A and B are shown apart, each in its own frame.
Chain A
Amino acid sequence: MKRQKAWKVLSTAALLAVLAVTGCSQSAAPPQQGAQGGSTPGQATQDAGGQADMTAKLRLNLKTEPPSLDPPKGFDSTSNEVLNATMEGLVRLDKDHKPQPAMAEKWTVSEDGKTYTFTLRDSKWSNGDPVTAQDFEFAFKRILDPNNAFPSAFLAYYIDGGEAFNKGEGTADGVKVKALDDKTFEVHLNAPAAYFLHIITQPTFFPVNKKVVESNPKWAENASSLVTNGPFKMEDWVHDQSVKVVKNDGYWDKDSVKFAGIDWVMVNDENTQYQMYKTSQLDMVQTVPIDMKKELIDSGEAKVEPEASIYYYRMNTTMPPFTNVNVRKAFALAIDRKTLIENVVQGKQPAALAHVPLGFPEPEGGDFREKGGDFFKDNDVEQAKELLKKGMEEEGWTTLPPVTLTFNTSDTHKAIAQVLQEMYKKNLGVDVKLENKEWNVFLADQRARKLQFSRSTIPADYGDPVNYLELFVTDHPGNRINYSNKDYDALVEKIRNTANETERFKLMHDAEKIFMDDMPLVPIYFGTKVYMDQSNIKGIIRHPVGTIDYKWVEIGKK
């Protein structure tokens, strides 16, 4: 088999010949495709009744080849976008970002918050097999199998016995997930985690067809062998070029799906993507060219929605001058985020004056961030100057130890760094040296805690504030600045073991306060998504945490 592939590589002549033939034969097709905006079946049936065009297909841009369509393997937004359309887990996020019944019709949670019992509804795989609890048991254990080395396996560490199995210390049988019968699936957690339902909306936890996976280890590599259970099923996948899916009539909720399918192209150039959108070859774009961002937002053509992520600079707490808390605070207070965002970042981002981003709902309603409020004032130069003076006195410094600000190579990061440098010079009289590194080198150094003052963008891995709080527990791999506070560590541990949601959220606010009092970060802004939908497209759901969802889209007639 391998040798056969190798020959394929070598036989350039054959490939060229094939291309020549197909190239020529297809050139007879209408040449002005660009002008007509591509051809979708939808445009042929303008006269169908009703508002939504049931025969239209959504034309989208995936940008790159999805790294993997094996659910726990493709731990990235590109793969997840396709997976969320073609497959479905026990629960799915609705338009208010709350988990709702999907493959599971209903579920019960035990008193101690540790045992979840799901009742599955009648639904079918795209090959006609019924989706069973055994498929889920198989899929969940598969996530954790150390031999599979799935990058997203850590998300399943909440399951009792999961971490041990993944670390090679336990067995598959030790993972406490069980199919009680064909329709009942039980999961035991090692600690109460109310956000477990949110976690399992992620593609990692989608079921896989046990029979298919066991008989064909390469099942997820091509359209023909992929077996799925979601609103759409795979029709065609040309690597590096396109993915096509069509409505799955075997899907339990097929009546909610009001269009015929999705055609993804893979165009990884911002300007080309924009041109294709402007010439109506794409129905939606998830990003806009940086130099046009402000203009497009101001004119209302591009829209902005919050995304749970934060852009910040980390201050290494064992490297002077950041060993002193007042100096750290001075650095956090001395910058004008509003100006920076309006002129450089330009995505209507909210200024970050705390650690946990927007997008995590409170148990009693409202947003965690809104309830927690700000911890300091933006651009508080007077206060910053005083804090810096106080900190230097405490340490007995007459001149501030040199500060080097490090970022990874990118135009935006560079522009932000230059503005920060200017603001520290102007507001604190501090000369900050700038240094940029290639992404992988940067990350290796930052992880090794070798950087003094360095940038990060942290997106949420799952829908709970503890996602951010736990990163700065002593010696967590996410804590790359030697930050250590015993009270904070104890509080995060307590949060992990608290079943009462109201209580837990109160503790999380307390933990964030301790953290912000130590101020090991310079928070800059909370993330947003800047996108454009064509006017006839309705119902694309963008979650602050979670994968974009096309299930409820309606394509109006132009």
Chain B
Amino acid sequence: MSNFLVKRVLMMLVTLWIIVTLTFSLMHAIPGNPFASESDQLPEQILANLRAKYHLDEPLPVQYVLYLKNLVMLDLGPSIKSDSRGVNDMIADGFGASAWLGAQAIVIALILGITFGIIAALNRNKPLDYIAMALAVLGVAVPSFIMAPLLINFFAIKLTIFPVATWGTWMHTVLPSLALAFGPVAVITRYMRASMIEVMNQNYIRTAEAKGIPTFLIVIRHGIRNAILPVVTFLGPLIASLITGTFVVEKIFAIPGIGKYFVDGIFNRDYPVILGTTIFYSAILIVTIFLIDIAYTLIDPRIKLTNKER
């Protein structure tokens, strides 16, 4: 097992290194530079001074080695656009808000998604199934930039239960969490319904039914555990993307998260921000996938992490 862990961690580091290298070369391949602005006054000399300050005047291989060196020290470098903070500070300041919202959204999505999925599966081709599936289609089809203003309009303007936007109290987190959860609820509902229908047709379920065990207990004891694997698979990327923030929802609700850096970094050609956010996201994704793999073995003992143990 420890042998497996060492191998797996090494693989994770290699993956990360490949991602860094690819991102680095792709980002320098796109035209433009971080100092472009509408103002035409910037003389060549000032641009040269700026390039020198951020080592952008060095050849790319030198910049690459320099970046890797800093990265090993866990230093993601300065932000070219924002003078006040480095990329480390930006992520440290913003990750809390993003992760908090993401975690709430995941909890909501799991509870609602699994419940709806089971209800739909147990009432296959009946009104409850249709209602749940209609909700699911709606959730996939309606983008968050429509959902978020609708939520604001209804809950913040009309009912005045929650604040319109900004960050501070728990009340501020409710609407953005709902907006974030809406899409995933739909996906989880569909996954859960499909695999639940399959599981409920298995022989062991019939056996349980024949024994006279109530449906509720069958679902809890035998159904969910066997049907949940597809949802768990989906959960890996979902966790990674939700806790690292989303551009649209954070913008609409003015959340001080890190979602905007993924987009603004590229628009601004803020190279350290592009690399830093990519690395951060990749690292979280890789670790989550690893954790999900471990979770598989806990849910289904037939799944083994290594071939040797077979």
**Interface, chain A (partner B; CB < 8 A):** 2-3, 5-10, 12, 15-16, 18-20, 23-24, 26-27, 29, 31-35, 65-70, 73-74, 146-151, 153-155, 157, 166-168, 220-222, 238-241, 265-269, 271-272, 275-276, 278-279, 281, 438-441, 443-445, 447, 456-459, 461, 471, 476-478
Q: Is the CB of A15 within 8 A of B96?
A: yes
Chain A residues near B170 (CB-CB < 8 A): 23-24, 26-27
Contact across chains for B167 and A241 when beta carbons are under 8 A apart: yes
Considering only CB atoms, which chain B residue lies closest to A239 in the complex?
B93
Q: Which residues of A contact B88 (CB under 8 A)?
A: 2, 5-6, 8-9
Q: Is residue B149 contacting chain A, with contact meaning CB distance below 8 A?
A: yes
Contact of A443 with B36 in the complex, beta carbons under 8 Å: yes
Chain A residues contacting B160 (CB-CB under 8 Å) are 32, 34-35
B25 at the interface (CB under 8 A from A): no
Instruction: Report if B35 contacts A (CB, 8 A).
Output: yes
Contact A267 B100 (CB under 8 A): no
- Bound-complex Cα distance A18 to B97 (A): 11
Can you name 29 A-B pairs with beta carbons within 8 Å? A5-B89, A6-B73, A15-B96, A16-B96, A16-B100, A16-B103, A19-B97, A24-B170, A26-B168, A29-B169, A31-B162, A33-B171, A35-B160, A67-B84, A68-B83, A154-B43, A239-B89, A240-B90, A266-B254, A266-B256, A267-B254, A268-B251, A269-B252, A269-B253, A281-B164, A438-B32, A440-B267, A440-B269, A459-B39
Give Cα A525–Cα B54 distance, bound, in whole angstroms: 38
B38 touches A269 (CB 8 A): no
Q: Which of B152-171 contact A (CB under 8 A)?
A: 152-153, 156-157, 160-171
Choice from B44, B91, B161, B166 contacting A31 with Cβ under 8 Å: B161
Apart from A12-B95, A166-B46, 7 more pairs, CB < 8 Å: A32-B161, A148-B49, A149-B53, A166-B45, A241-B166, A444-B31, A478-B41
Q: Complex Cα distance A142/B30, Å?
A: 34
Is there contact, CB below 8 Å, between A70 and B83? yes
Pairwise interchain contact B42-A151, C-beta atoms closer than 8 A: yes
Q: Give Cα A148 to B169, complex, Å.
A: 40
Question: Would you call A444 and B96 a contact (CB within 8 A)?
Answer: no
CA distance A226 to B153 in the complex (A): 39
Expressed in whole angstroms, the minimum distance between the Cβ of A521 and any Cβ of chain B is 14
- Indicate if B82 sits at the interface (CB-CB under 8 A): yes
Chain B residues with CB under 8 Å of A146's CB are 45, 49
- The residue on B at minimum CB distance from A168 is B45
Contact A439 B267 (CB under 8 A): yes
Cβ-defined partner of A23 (8 Å) among B36, B43, B169? B169
Distance to closest chain B CB from A222 (angstroms): 8
Q: A266-B254, A471-B40 are in contact. Are A31 and B46 (CB under 8 A)?
A: no
Contact B74 A2 (CB under 8 A): yes
Pick the contact of A154 from B37, B42, B94, B267 — CB < 8 Å? B42
For the complex, what is the distance from the CA of A19 to the CA of B209, rounded to whole Å?
46
Interface assignment of B86: CB less than 8 Å from any CB of chain A: yes
Chain A residues positioned under 8 Å from B38 (CB to CB): 443, 456-459
**Residues of A with C-beta under 8 A to B281:** none
Partner of A2, one of B75, B95, B153: B75
Question: Do A444 and B84 have beta carbons less than 8 Å apart?
Answer: no
User: What's the Cα separation between A65 and B260 when bound, in Å?
Assistant: 12
B298 within 8 A of A: no
Q: Complex formed: what's the CA distance from A451 to B153 in Å?
A: 44
- Residue B296 interfacial (CB < 8 Å): no
Complex Cα spacing A419 to B92, Å: 46
Cβ contacts under 8 Å, B169 to chain A: 23, 26-27, 29, 31, 33
- Is B166 in contact with A461, judged by CB distance below 8 angstroms? no
Given A27-B170, A279-B164, A476 and B40 contact (CB-CB distance below 8 Å) = yes
Interface 1/0 per residue, B51-87 and A, CB below 8 Å? 0110000000000000000000111000001111110
Q: Any chain A CB within 8 A of the CB of B234?
A: no
Residues of B within 8 A of A10 (CB): 74
Instruction: Specify which chain A residues have a CB less than 8 angstroms from the CB of B256 in the assembled complex.
Output: 238-241, 266
A166 closest partner in B (C-beta) = B45
Over the window 7-23 of chain B, the binary record of Cβ atoms lying under 8 Å from chain A Cβ atoms (1 yes, 0 no) is: 00000000000000000
**In B111-155, which residues have CB < 8 Å from any A CB?**
149, 152-153
| Closest Cβ neighbor of A67 among chain B residues | B82
In the complex, what residues of A have CB within 8 A of residue B81's CB? 67
| Residues on the B chain within 8 Å of A153, using CB | 46, 49
Q: Which 7 A-B pairs have the closest CB atoms?
A: A440-B32, A478-B40, A6-B74, A68-B83, A35-B160, A27-B170, A149-B49
Contacts of B269 in A (CB 8 A): 440
Pick the contact of A240: B40, B94, B252 (CB < 8 A).
Answer: B94
- The interface bits of chain B over 266-298 (1 if a CB of A lies within 8 angstroms of the residue's CB, else 0) are 010100000000001000000000000000000
Q: Evaluate contact between B92 and A9: CB separation under 8 angstroms.
A: yes
A24 to B171: give the CA distance in the assembly, Å. Answer: 10
Min C-beta distance of A282 to chain B, whole Å: 10
Given contacts A27-B171, A269-B252, contact A461 B39 (CB under 8 A): yes
Inter-chain contacts of B45 with A (CB < 8 A) = 146, 166-168
B233 touches A (CB below 8 Å) = no
Interface string of B160-189 (1 = CB under 8 A from A): 111111111111010000000000000000
Given A2-B88, A151-B35, A67–B165 Cβ distance below 8 Å?
no
Q: A27-B171, A238-B256, A265-B254 are in contact. Are A443 and B32 (CB under 8 A)?
A: yes
Give bound CA distance, A20 to B161, whole Å. Answer: 21
Residues A275 and B267 in contact in the complex (CB < 8 Å), given A5-B86, A151-B50, A477-B43: no
Question: Least Cβ distance of A547 to chain B in Å?
Answer: 15
- Report which of A267, A275, A440 forms a contact with B157, defined as CB distance below 8 A: A275
Docked-complex contact B36 and A34, CB < 8 angstroms:
no
| Cα of A526 to Cα of B152 in the assembled complex, Å | 35
B173 to chain A: which residues have CB within 8 Å?
Answer: 23
Compute how far the CA of A298 lies from the CA of B286 in the bound complex, rounded to whole angstroms. Answer: 54
Taking CB atoms and an 8 Å cut-off, the chain B residues in 233-278 that contact chain A are 251-254, 256, 260, 267, 269
A73 nearest CB neighbor, chain B only: B83
Highest count of chain A CB atoms <10 Å: which of B39, B74, B161, B260: B39
- With contacts A269-B252, A276-B165 taken as known, whether A12 is within 8 angstroms of B99 at the C-beta atoms is yes
Inside 8 A of A70's CB, which chain B residues have their CB? 83
- What residues of A have a CB within 8 angstroms of the CB of B74 in the complex? 2-3, 6-7, 9-10
Query: CA–CA, A7 to B86, complex, Å?
Result: 14
> Is B36 touching A67 in the complex (CB atoms < 8 A)?
no
Query: Hey, which chain A residues are within 8 Å of B96, CB to CB?
Result: 15-16, 18-19
Q: Report Cα–Cα, A266/B168, bound state, in Å.
A: 13
* Cβ contact within 8 Å between B50 and A149: yes
In the bound assembly, the distance between CA atoms of A461 and B97 in angstroms comes to: 37
Tell me which of A35, A166, A272, A441 contacts B253 (CB under 8 A). Answer: A272
Contact, CB under 8 Å: B161 / A440:
no
Which B residue sits closest to A471, measured CB to CB? B40
Partner of B162 from the list A19, A34, A265, A461 (CB cut-off 8 Å) is A34
Q: State whether the Cβ of B33 lies closer than 8 Å to any Cβ in chain A.
A: yes
Contacts of A440 in B (CB 8 A): 30-33, 36, 267, 269
Q: CA A7 – CA B74 in complex, angstroms?
A: 8
Distance of A299 Cα from B167 Cα, bound (Å): 32
CA gap between A363 and B157 in the complex, in Å: 51
B277 to chain A, nearest CB (A): 12
Q: Which residue of B lies closest to A18 (CB)?
A: B96
Residues of A within 8 A of B99 (CB): 12, 15-16, 19
Residue from the set A20, A26, A151, A222 with the largest chain B CB neighbour count within 10 Å: A151
- A154 vs B44: C-alpha distance in the bound complex, in angstroms? 10
In the assembled complex, the Cα of A150 lies from the Cα of B45 at a distance in Å of 11
B178 vs chain A, min Cβ distance (A): 15
Whether the Cβ atoms of A444 and B36 lie closer than 8 Å is: yes
The residue in chain A whose Cβ has the minimal distance to the Cβ of B96 is A15
Compute how far the CA of A67 lies from the CA of B160 in the bound complex, rounded to whole angstroms: 34
Determine whether the beta carbon of B95 is less than 8 Å from that of A272.
no
